[in-house]
Structure 1
């Protein structure tokens, strides 16, 4: 009975969850919080108040990212695919669109704004994402059966 009670106690200090330290979990939560604040400030006003004829594709997508980042505060490791998605699309934009526009000297106000908002993110996500966990759970671990 004592062993059951001992195993039910929550981890303390720098104990690991899935091989990820408590400190790293808080860093992940801070990253989700950054997404929540950033997307909330930029995107929520447009979602709440928009023209009835607005397409709304991009605001809706960003609204979904915002909602999923809220879940990431509670479940930082389970929501890692959200951070991987953010890393991937921003890296693709930088390499395919940002770099070519920058090299062409297309420094329009819209490009400058987009570049400033997107360019730091891949570096941040590359630092924050626990790559060992990603490798163990998304690369090395066997996938679900097909049949």
Structure 2
């Protein structure tokens, strides 16, 4: 009896070390969104800037231009480029905690440029949901298991 393709989309795939196809396609979607929405504005900022750079702003724009450019590789190898997702989740979480949260607590966030950025970061839970955390733990955070020869 053939397996329903919808069910297979949510079933761990042994070909991808137990990662569900929905997670792989979710990762690809976020890599694609980085390319479409972040890369153009970051590269426009780099290429059209005139005059001396503020060094800290220049670093921020350079990072913003680099990480979506790397997302191109994630479209083809989503699990290999998972650290890019860790970076994205990390910086957005830190920014929301230290920049947006204090303003939100005193009702001064929405209707400001900071609120606009915070709004664009509200997809963070969706991004975290497509990360295959079990795979990430095994590949990037857990100590390698020692192989015992018998």
Shift of 1:71: 1.2
Shift of 1:46: 1.0
> 1:45 aligns to what?
44
Deviations 1:36-67 (A, max 9, x none): 11112321211221114123221101111111
Give the Cα–Cα distance (whole angstroms) in 1 for the partners of residues 131 and 22 of structure 2: 12
Gaps of 5+ in 2: 1-7, 146-150
RMSD across aligned positions (CA): 2.0
Would you say the 8 A contact 2:39–2:64 is kept in 1?
Answer: no
Would you say the 8 A contact 2:39–2:69 is kept in 1?
Answer: no
Aligned pairs, how many?
Answer: 130
- TM-score normalised by the chain length of structure 2: 0.76
- Which runs of 4 or more aligned residues in structure 1 lie more than 6 Å from their structure 2 counterparts after TM superposition? none
> 1:7 aligns to what?
none
> 1:142 aligns to what?
144
Give the Cα–Cα distance (whole angstroms) in 2 for the partners of residues 64 and 40 of structure 1: 8
Gaps of 5+ in 1: 1-12
Give the Cα–Cα distance (whole angstroms) in 2 for the partners of residues 69 and 33 of structure 1: 7
Q: Are 2:112 and 1:109 aligned?
A: yes
Give the Cα–Cα distance (whole angstroms) in 1 for the partners of residues 114 and 141 of structure 2: 35
